Amino acid sequence: MRLCKDCNKGNLEKIGDIILDIEGYIFVVNGLRCTHCKEEFPSPSETDKVIAAARKLGVWPEPLKLYRHLSKSGGGLIFRIPSDLEKQLKLNENIEIAISKVGNKIVIEPER
């Protein structure tokens, strides 16, 4: 038996009932579960199959990277969120957002 990678206390046992919920689609896969902390580790081959199926269903989007120019407004810079992202993330002018600096990246998250 292998020791759990997360808690370092329990053993990893083979299981066949890990549930993955992707946009309302339920996938049941094989993998490992810790006997102590109950953390689950889907097998890489099973995960690849789920990703392929989710892509075919259109619920596993490709990574998104957009390029925009900043504009000047008053004493600061602004940028526009494209309307397709606005709809996907259900944003509007009443949603508060959190802006964080992580290394040299800016992370913007809606607060719900």
Residues of the chain with CATH 2.10.260.10: 71-110
**What 3-state DSSP class applies to 90?**
coil
> What proportion of the chain, given as a percentage, has pLDDT over 70?
100
Domain 2-57 has CATH 2.130.10.10: no
> What proportion of the chain, given as a percentage, has pLDDT over 90?
57
Report the pLDDT value the prediction gives residue 11, as an integer from 0 to 100: 95
Query: CA–CA distance from 1 to each of 10, 57, 58 (Å)?
Result: 10, 36, 38
**What 3-state DSSP class applies to 110?**
strand
pTM above 0.75, yes or no: no
Going by C-alpha positions, the residue among 73, 79, 6, 74 that lies closest to residue 38 is 6
pLDDT tens figures, 54-98 = 989 988 877 777 888 889 999 899 988 888 888 888 899 999 999
pLDDT: is 18 or 82 the higher one? 18
Fold of 71-110: Pemi-like Protein 1; Chain: D (2.10.260)
Distance of CA 41 to the CA centre of its chain: 16
